[in-house]
Structure 1
Amino acid sequence: MTITLGQLRIDPVTELDHWPFAPADLFPGVTPEHLGDHQGDLDLMITTYLVRTPDQTVLLDAGNGNAKERPVLLAHHQLDTPYLDRLAAAGVVPEDVDVVVATHLHPDHCGGFTQLVDGSWDPTFPRALYLIPSEEYAWLQQIHAERPEGGVAGDLARTFEDSVLPVVEAGLVELIDLPYEVADGITLRSLPGHTTAHLIAELTGGGRHALVSGDVLHHPFQFSDLTLHQGGDADPAVAVESRRTLCELAADRDALVLPAHFPAGRIDRDGDGFRYRPVASGAA
């Protein structure tokens, strides 16, 4: 589905269509009430968003990338997907991309910054400027500097080593403060909690709005309980406030929400809470 907001053209580019997790592995506090009639795994996806302006091609989130060594975070380990073929099907090759932004520096959002070429990790988008919030970069750099040998921290250190550091060394990174205007109609805004400086992208054009929401929410049933935190939330209390802020923004603006891990939709007020209304392909 191609979404048009004035002069902005937005194309979802999905890296993984099916990414299953046991509910309790994804949400430690999940209850039968949250799940309702759902049985079995929760089937997520990994989706990035290609935004074209009259002057620039911007990629929001870069996916997990292939061949990444993630022995602890096995859902991220040694993927082999046709992501770049899907990008090409949307009319863009890596050399066309002017700007790359990850909503945060978890492996499935920034791993695609680099690709394995003749045994080395090279920038996937060699002409692009990679925009990274200073606080987010400092957080992951510190984990890498501590050289953890195991656990999730070990895989995060590997993410810095094989996905972030190569684009820094190539001179392609600009560390930014938020909010930040990428281009007319594309503004990056801080919504922390999942990570130190998790961001969303506010897209505006032709009087219409969309929000690329990253991991502020991971699954639609979180709308029924915004306090339900995902296991990877760095600060669950702050993440709850960010979920509410996102819902308020989307409802107030009638914005199309473009998440990383579930299909696009709109957020409606429902009493004191919110409910999610998926949008059929082509009806955005």
Structure 2
Amino acid sequence: MQVSTIELGKVTVTRVVEFRGSVGLTSREFFPESPGQLWRQNSSWLSPDFWNPDTDIVPVALQTWVLRSEGKIILIDTGAGNDKFRPYAKMWQYMDTGFLSRLSRAGVQPEDVDIVVNTHLHNDHVGWNTRREGRDWVPTFPNATYLIPEIEFGFWNPEHPIIAKDPKASQNVWEDSVLPVHEAGLVKLWDGTHTIDSSLALELAPGHTPGSSVVQLQSGTDRAMFIGDLLHTPLQLEHPEFNSCFEEDEKQARTTRRRVLEWAADHKALLLPAHLPGHGAAEIARDGSYFKLKEWAGFSRI
């Protein structure tokens, strides 16, 4: 799979893809409130990157955004990882991908990484936090600080009562992908907002999970927002009221999605979701009370 890079002000952004394909969800399974007719009406631009009209499957990508800013290397989300036992999320079970080789082709060795941002702690955002070494799970990026929202850390911590919609889907994730980096002393918990450097800042964006977060980039005249799982299909631009099936708080997810989309449209900011295939990121504009695609980013299409 391809690696491609763009410049946003003084920040370099590289897209490193772990996976592109189907996770077996049809449009109505993925987005329960979306009518099938709407997908067919938009087939001309959703197909083939974001919807297969023959199978009704919605493809996804797992990708890590690699940022170079003020002399540091920053990873935003770490995908599903290799060798993980995921009995209730079998699409990510015992994966064996060349992610680290692709990261190397992007000029990054694990020891080079200074900061890892986990926008939230779902299994497909923390997998490469760790790698298997013998029978143990060890930090993949041993010199990095792992930034995790405090409320997210508390929500998934098994020492606290878990009230997640589907707690089984996160089985083993804490033990193999979160706890090892915490026990290694690499985790920094934050709340509200957190400044990474003069160009990059974290802020909470709850709904998908209680502690979901986004990374805002402001450098020179360029603006961007790395939005994790606030958006899973570009159809949600025209219909931000449509949630995915994975939202913990559906009402809050709609409110947060609209707030972030409004900011992005008003500031001509590039939106970089975690899971869009195709060109992966886009600038948007207001379209009445909704939004529309203005221009795709310059990343290679996958």
Give the letter for the 2:27 counterpart: P
1:265 matches 2:282: yes
- How much has 1:276 moved relative to structure 2? 2.4
- How much has 1:145 moved relative to structure 2? 5.2
Q: Give the 5 Å matches for 1:1-284.
A: 1-20=4-23, 21-36=25-40, 37=43, 39=53, 40=55, 41-142=57-158, 152-262=166-276, 263-279=280-296, 281=298
| Per-residue deviation, residues 136-190 of structure 1 (Å, max 9, x unmatched) | 0000004x65599xx9413414111110000011111111112110112010011
Task: Describe the shift of the 1:147–1:220 C-alpha distance in structure 2 as closer, same or farther (beyond 3 A).
Answer: closer
Task: Describe the shift of the 1:227–1:155 C-alpha distance in structure 2 as closer, same or farther (beyond 3 A).
Answer: same
| Per-residue deviation, residues 62-95 of structure 1 (Å, max 9, x unmatched) | 1110111111112222221111111111100110
| Per-residue deviation, residues 215-274 of structure 1 (Å, max 9, x unmatched) | 001111112211111111000000001110111111111111111111111111111111
**Could you tell me how far apart the structure 2 residues matched to 1:79 and 1:174 are?**
28
Residues 115 and 121, structure 1, Cα contact 8 Å, conserved in 2? yes
Count of aligned positions: 280
Residues 73 and 113, structure 2, Cα contact 8 Å, conserved in 1? yes
Residues 192 and 239, structure 1, Cα contact 8 Å, conserved in 2? yes
SS at match of 1:48: strand
**Could you tell me how far apart the structure 1 residues matched to 2:142 and 2:91 are?**
27
SS at match of 1:244: helix
Give the letter for the 1:62 counterpart: T
Give the CA RMSD over aligned residues.
Answer: 1.9
- How much has 1:202 moved relative to structure 2? 0.5
- How much has 1:282 moved relative to structure 2? 5.2
Residues 34 and 221, structure 1, Cα contact 8 Å, conserved in 2? no
Give the letter for the 1:7 counterpart: K
- How much has 1:33 moved relative to structure 2? 3.0
Compare 80-89 and 153-162 and name the one that shifted more.
153-162
Give the letter for the 2:123 counterpart: P
**Could you tell me how far apart the structure 2 residues matched to 1:111 and 1:120 are?**
14
Residues 140 and 157, structure 1, Cα contact 8 Å, conserved in 2? no
SS at match of 1:183: coil
Task: Describe the shift of the 1:53–1:109 C-alpha distance in structure 2 as closer, same or farther (beyond 3 A).
Answer: same
Structure 2: gaps of 5 or more residues: 44-50
**Could you tell me how far apart the structure 2 residues matched to 1:224 and 1:6 are?**
28
SS at match of 1:11: strand
Give the letter for the 1:31 counterpart: P
SS at match of 1:64: coil
**Could you tell me how far apart the structure 2 residues matched to 1:119 and 1:203 are?**
39
SS at match of 2:22: strand
Give the letter for the 1:63 counterpart: G
Give the letter for the 1:96 counterpart: D
Structure 1: gaps of 5 or more residues: none
**Could you tell me how far apart the structure 1 residues matched to 2:281 and 2:295 are?**
6
Residues 72 and 152, structure 1, Cα contact 8 Å, conserved in 2? no
TM-score for both structures, normalised by structure 2: 0.88
TM-score for both structures, normalised by structure 1: 0.93
SS at match of 1:230: coil
